[in-house]
Amino acid sequence: MHRRELGRRRLAMRLPKVRSRIMHAAHPWQLELFEAYELAVEYRELMRINPSEAGLFEEYCETCLDIERDVTRAMSGAPSS
């Protein structure tokens, strides 16, 4: 499965209020967000198992949260800040 679809599914699980919109999203910028989310999650997990990378782990956690907020705003029609 492509990273784009993995990211879409992860986001759909994390964001149940906009799950339907995530699953039907087709615009290229939305698909790019899904792929970026999957990459951030993958790197976050790599940093989690490497204690010497604690700073990067926190950075990727924050990146994942930022993307989740962006997707929530985009899918709910709320203006971005």
66 in Cβ contact with 14 (< 8 Å): no
The most distant pair of C-alpha atoms in the chain lies apart, rounded to whole Å, by 40
Report the distance separating Cα 50 and Cα 27, nearest Å. Answer: 36
**Residue range of the domain that includes 41:** 3-76
Q: Does some domain include residue 81?
A: no
Q: Does some domain include residue 52?
A: yes
Number of independent structural domains in the chain: 1
Residue type, 48: R
The pLDDT assigned to 58 comes to 93
Q: Does some domain include residue 14?
A: yes
pLDDT category at 81 given cuts 50, 70, 90 is very low
Q: How many C-beta neighbours within 10 Å does residue 74 have?
A: 18
Higher-pLDDT residue of 78, 7: 7
pTM (predicted TM-score):
0.89
What tokens does 24 get? 């039907």
What tokens does 22 get? 């995530």
What tokens does 19 get? 């799950």
